[in-house]
Structure 1
Amino acid sequence: MLSKLDRHGSGKLCWVDPYGDTLFNEQEAQVVRHEVAALAHKSADDREKAALLDLAEILDACAATPGSYLWFMGD
């Protein structure tokens, strides 16, 4: 699903590197949460939508916890 994102867009979710590590702090997680919600709303694939909703829960927890980070670990 990340491959569908515009790598030159204004969002932060496109910053996730599939081969390297990407780190978001709680403020960035809040912004990314809105991007994930928009993607889930557009998704027609049930498995993709479920994965996005799981990610949204993790982003919510990060955004609600000052000083926290969400770390995406690449390949």
Structure 2
Amino acid sequence: MGIDLQLHSARPQWPGRRSKRKPTLVRESHEHGAALAQVIEELPSNTSGKLWMVDPYNDTVFNEQEAEAALREIPDLLRRCADDARIDAVRDLAAFLTACATTPGSYLVFVGD
């Protein structure tokens, strides 16, 4: 199981839906999916944060405001990391959250297994 990340320049186009919009995918990351899923699954639920809502089995979408709010959780996530693989996964997540938060109209998709 893993969570891949996709940064979109606008509301994502989902496969199977007919649309005349241009593709929105800007970049994606598959490298740290398993470690990211482990970190996310260990988060306590029903907190004031955003990242606990990421579903490791389905897609979860954050807009730029949600990404900005989730960025505040990164320091705590880094403190929770037990190994280099998880640290790398959280740093990758931080880069994607930052890109989304600073790009008007963008979306970050957490692609669950």
> TM-score, normalization: structure 1?
0.90
Gaps of 5+ in 2: 1-38
Distance in structure 2 (CA, Å) of the matches to 1:41 and 1:50 = 12
Greater share of residues in strand: 2
How many percent of aligned residue pairs carry the same amino acid?
Answer: 52
Match of 2:71 in 1: 33
Provide the residue aligned with 2:99 in structure 1: 61
Structure 2 matches for 1:34-53, cutoff 5 A?
A: 34-53=72-91
How many residues are matched? 75
In structure 1, distance between residues paired with 2:82 and 2:70: 20
CA RMSD, 1 decimal: 1.1
TM-score, length of structure 2 as denominator length? 0.62
Look up the equivalent residue of 2:108 and give its one-letter code. L
- Structure 1's unaligned 5+ residue stretches are none
Higher-helix-fraction structure: 1
**Structure 1: 4+ residue segments shifted above 6 A:** none
Instruction: Output one character per residue of 1:17-47: Cα deviation in whole Å (capped at 9) or x when no partner.
Output: 1111100000100111111232113323111
